[in-house]
A and B are shown apart, each in its own frame.
Chain A
Amino acid sequence: EVQLVESGGGLVQPGGSLRLSCAASGFTFSSYSMNWVRQAPGKGLEWVSYISSSSSTIYYADSVKGRFTISRDNAKNSLYLQMNSLRDEDTAVYYCARDHVEMATIGDYWGLGTLVTVSS
């Protein structure tokens, strides 16, 4: 069974940093690209970042470019999102999602999400 479990969310002050993790199991993690997607309270889905299976290709949404860094450790079956210079508007539930290029979907499987609150 495919499982994605996010962790690392919490309350942080504006300008602060946070590192999110996503633990993957039930599939060959190293064979799949991964995405981070976020959802602000009461709002829709916003794609944040993409990383290919070998980490050779990385993309970011303009809203986080230069502040967030996506990475992965295939030996640990883990995905990460380092978030720096956090702003109020980064407050959201952050989901990791398994990219499926053959189905052309950002997420054929999703984690339950972790809440990041940026507030003073």
Chain B
Amino acid sequence: EIVLTQSPGTLSLSPGERATLSCRASQSVSSSYLAWYQQKPGQAPRLLIYGASSRATGIPDRFSGSGSGTDFTLTISRLEPEDFAVYYCQQYGSSLPFGQGTRLEIK
């Protein structure tokens, strides 16, 4: 089973800064099958990125995804106050589809 490992566990940044979140797979994953979600406290996850780099409907262009093979990245170009949340990567078609999450907190 392919396992997704996200790093760092917690990222402390200030509004306006650039955030880079990593998702590493234990084996190669098709880029088509890699997605990213955002979850705020008390809320359901929200789809941000699918196909490794395509933004979901209504997602601001400060969010971007990249990567291939075993290494994928979610980048938030300039952090807004509402971006501080937990982020999960997901691989489709696996019984262990989610990474453990990265908490993005205000520094």
Show the binding face of A for B, using Cβ within 8 Å: 37, 44-47, 59, 61-62, 95, 97, 100, 103-113
Contacts and interface: CB of A to CB of B under 8 A. Distances in A.
Interface string B25-48: 000000011110101000111110
A45 to B, nearest CB: 4
Interface of B: 32-35, 37, 39, 43-47, 50-51, 54, 56, 86, 88, 90, 92-93, 95-101
B44 A110 contact: yes
Given A104-B92, A104-B93, A105-B90, 11 more contacts: A45-B37, A45-B101, A46-B98, A59-B95, A97-B45, A105-B35, A107-B45, A108-B47, A108-B56, A110-B46, A112-B44
Nearest to B100: A44
A110 B46 CA distance: 7
A103 B47 CA distance: 10
Contacts of A97: 45
Given A103-B35, A106-B92, A44 B44 contact: no
Nearest to A93: B44
11 contacts: A44-B98, A44-B99, A44-B100, A104-B32, A104-B34, A104-B35, A108-B47, A108-B56, A109-B47, A112-B44, A113-B44
A44 to B, nearest CB: 5
Nearest 8 A-B pairs (CB), nearest first?
A: A104-B92, A110-B44, A103-B50, A45-B98, A104-B33, A44-B101, A105-B35, A47-B97
